[in-house]
């Protein structure tokens, strides 16, 4: 688990805020030794899922990362915003991604929280169950 201060301009659009949070998370994870495989992976068609970052650990584990940015900790903060529906969409997208590989690697689902207090990396935050 890591912790870094979070900074985003007050006049930024929602997309800019999200992109900045993903940039922050990506930089942090790369410093931890993970390598970027793909960013903003989307399944085709409507109603599918999206994965913010697909990373690979040095041991070959594929890590599907959801990045959540919240302006405050009220309503449970960023961690509470990754509920069951969001998890199912991420798992759906991950299965779609893995289906294109000859041999699926070990994988897990992480969440990186970007809040005013800083950045927090939750490893194995949920499973495909």
Question: Would you give per-residue pLDDT tens digits along the chain (129 residues)?
Answer: 454 454 545 566 777 878 889 999 999 999 999 999 999 999 987 777 899 999 999 999 999 999 998 766 555 555 566 888 889 999 999 999 999 999 999 999 999 998 878 889 999 999 887
**Tell me, what's the pLDDT at 80?**
62
CA nearest to 73, candidates 28, 114, 15: 114
Residue 112 bridge partners (DSSP): 67, 121
Give which of 113, 4, 24, 33 is closest to 121, Cα–Cα. Answer: 113
pLDDT the model gives residue 77? 52
Cβ neighbour number for residue 45 with a 10 Å cutoff: 6
Q: What angle do CA 35, 38, 42 make, to 5 degrees?
A: 150
Q: Set out the domains of the chain in order of their start, with CATH numbers.
A: 14-126 (3.40.1350.10)
Q: Could you say which DSSP state residue 74 is in?
A: G
pLDDT of residue 17: 79
pTM of the model: 0.83
63: nearest Cα among 50, 53, 76:
53
Tokens of 36: 């970027």
Residue 1: predicted pLDDT: 47
pLDDT at res. 116: 79
State how beta strands 50-56 and 35-42 pair: antiparallel
- Partners of 41 in the beta sheet? 51
């Amino acid at each position: 688990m890591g912790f870094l201060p979070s900074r985003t301009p007050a006049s930024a659009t929602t997309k800019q805020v999200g992109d900045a949070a993903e940039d922050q998370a990506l930089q942090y994870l790369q410093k931890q030794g993970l390598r970027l495989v793909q960013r903003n992976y989307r399944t085709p068609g409507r109603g599918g899922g999206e994965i913010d970052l697909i990373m690979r650990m040095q041991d070959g584990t594929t890590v599907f990362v959801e990045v959540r940015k919240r302006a405050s900790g009220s309503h449970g903060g960023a961690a509470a915003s990754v509920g069951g529906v969001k998890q199912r969409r991420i798992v759906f997208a991950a299965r779609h991604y893995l289906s294109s590989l000859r041999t699926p690697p070990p994988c897990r689902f992480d969440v990186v929280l970007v809040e005013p207090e800083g950045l927090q990396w939750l490893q194995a935050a949920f499973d495909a169950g």
